[in-house]
Chain A
Amino acid sequence: MSRIIVVTSGKGGVGKTTTTSNLGAALAKHNRSVALVDADFGLRNLDLLLGLEERVVYTAIDVLAGECRLAQALVKDKRIKGLVLLPAAQNRNKESVQPEQMKKIATALAKGYDYILIDCPAGIELGFRNAISAAEEALIVTTPEVAAVRDADRVIGLLEAEGVNKISLIVNRVKPLMVEENKMMSVEDVLELLGVPLIGVVPDDEKVIVATNRGEPLVLGEYESVPAQAYSNIARRLEGEKVPFLDLMANQGNIFSRLRRMFGG
């Protein structure tokens, strides 16, 4: 039984594409077959974050136009078995595809892959409706910032109205030191506001940027890092495992904040 999951957020720039690429790689590492679908027509980036940009030949538009078969358009990730990408067209805009067409593609992919992860564009217009048309589940990515949380709430409402009821939350770019100093909302704060179950917490980390520079998802990197661990944990939770959430405060801060913590300040 394959699962079609849309990764969405409402607001742009909160980490949807990074999340999609890392979760795809993490699930493939767990021996699952995964098809990543870039639904951001006109502003595709998933190929870039995966480091597959030079190998894109056909796109979803070519498949829909009948210019190639679906299997021909899929770009295989050579670093890891079972991970493929269906690129979005870059020269067309978001209006060139309709929800029914996206649904057809996703349903066709579901026959051959365990997971179909759809990278949704920002906004709530046609691009969003395309991306969620086939989805049975949704992962909401947000950051602990007012605009991101508000937009996330709006998107959750729209998903519920469309009958996508299995919704989980990923809180991205958490800065534990700022939370401790009451300068940033905590994961608990965001959860209380949004009221959907939590599936992952990813700390703000420079390594994420370095990984995107290289075009290599963090979870495929040589070295263990906290964000890679966080993504890998989300993949395991998707698989139904009970994995405790990471303690982001461990090994954080300078000598002063550690002392402060020690004295309960």
Chain B
Amino acid sequence: MLNMIKRFLEMLFPWKNNTDSRNRAKSRLKLIIAHDRASINSDMLKAMREEILDVVARYVEVDREEMEFSLSNDQRMTSLTANLPIRQVKRLSELKENLTENSAFDLQDIEIVETERGPEEANA
């Protein structure tokens, strides 16, 4: 009897049983389709991520724990999204040092504004 009442209640209030497999399917597909379309395998994506991070790390300090790196797609367009939280912008002297190591850049052409505060403080 108790069981019957329980089933009746579940029929009336389906949100009690947590079965949202629909959105699970959708989010899994979003990811896999983006990968299929870009025909980038996870090794390639990993290598690309490391290289991009190397470049970014010359200028700013990235929070590696919090960063996100993903492929997504919208209306048959695939895009690469990198969300890299910045911990600290590098000091001018550090930056110059890094840049001289890389001969591809001409220091004369790059204008650098030195900031004293990190981004967190700037927001506060």
Contacts and interface: CB of A to CB of B under 8 A. Distances in A.
A256 B74 CA distance: 37
A260 B22 contact: no
A264 interface: no
Interface string B8-24: 10011111000111110
A256 B36 contact: no
A150 interface: yes
A185 B36 contact: no
A189 B22 contact: yes
A183 B19 contact: yes
Nearest to A186: B22
B23 A182 contact: yes
A179 B14 contact: no
Interface stretch (B27-35, B55-63, B85-93): B27-35
Nearest to A259: B12
B23 to A, nearest CB: 7
Contacts of A157: 36-37
B87 to A, nearest CB: 35
Contacts of B13: 265
Given A149-B29, A195-B75, A265-B13, A183 B21 contact: yes
Nearest to A145: B25
A265 B12 contact: yes
A153 interface: yes
A196 B21 CA distance: 24
B32 A182 contact: no
Contacts of A156: 76
Given A146-B28, A193-B29, A195-B75, A179 B22 contact: yes
Interface residues of A, number: 26
Interface in B47-81: 73-76
Contacts of B21: 182-184
Nearest to A189: B26
Nearest to B20: A182
B25 A260 contact: no
B12 A154 contact: no
A149 to B, nearest CB: 6
Interface in A161-192: 179, 181-186, 189, 192
Contact of A150 (B12, B32, B76): B32
A4 B70 CA distance: 39
A144 B75 CA distance: 18
Given A150-B29, A150-B36, A193-B30, A265 B22 contact: no
Contacts of B22: 179, 182-186, 189
A154 B38 CA distance: 11
Nearest to B10: A256
A263 to B, nearest CB: 9
Given A182-B20, A265-B13, A193 B26 contact: yes
A254 to B, nearest CB: 8
A234 B74 CA distance: 26
Contacts of B26: 185, 189, 192-193
21 contacts: A146-B25, A149-B29, A150-B29, A150-B32, A156-B76, A157-B36, A181-B14, A182-B23, A184-B21, A184-B25, A185-B25, A185-B26, A189-B25, A193-B30, A193-B33, A195-B73, A195-B74, A196-B76, A256-B11, A265-B14, A265-B15
Interface of B: 8, 11-15, 19-23, 25-26, 28-30, 32-33, 36-37, 73-76
Given A153-B33, A185-B26, A257-B11, 14 more contacts: A146-B25, A149-B29, A150-B29, A153-B37, A157-B36, A182-B19, A185-B22, A189-B22, A192-B26, A193-B26, A193-B29, A195-B74, A256-B11, A260-B11
